[in-house]
Amino acid sequence: MTPRAGVGRQPPRAGEGVEISDRPRFVLRSKQGSFELSEGESLVGRSRNCQVVVRDPSVSRSHALLTFRDGVVRVKDLSSSNGTYVN
């Protein structure tokens, strides 16, 4: 998975303040990396036009649409060849 918007923040140094948010977060993780979803829609697939690019031959060019609103994530399969499974 190749995120088009990075997550990788450095941990705070000792003595630095840490901002705590009550906003829900949703992070996709794989062997290829991590991607934090923003509010709204994120397209998942092999295409470079996707917000979350997954470099795997079993993933369709436009595989699924993730919608993140009000702390809820919805997954919609976009008629992908191999289906979409959520665990």
Tokens 């290829």, residue located:
32
Indicate whether this model's pTM tops 0.85. no
Pairing of strands 33-36, 72-77: unpaired
By CB atoms closer than 10 A (0-12, 13-18, 19+), residue 13 is: exposed
Tokens 């993730």, residue located:
66
Amino acid identity at 67: T
For 1-53, the pLDDT digits (tens) are 655 544 556 666 766 666 666 777 888 887 778 888 889 999 999 999 999 99
Residue 48: its pLDDT value, please? 95
Give the residue from 15, 52, 50 showing the smallest Cα distance to 35. Answer: 52
Give the residue from 76, 86, 71, 77 showing the smallest Cα distance to 26. Answer: 71
H helical segments located in 1-87: none
For 65-87, the pLDDT digits (tens) are 999 998 899 999 999 999 998 87
**Can you list the domains of the chain with their CATH numbers?**
25-87 (2.60.200.20)
Residue 6: its pLDDT value, please? 47
Residue 61: its pLDDT value, please? 97
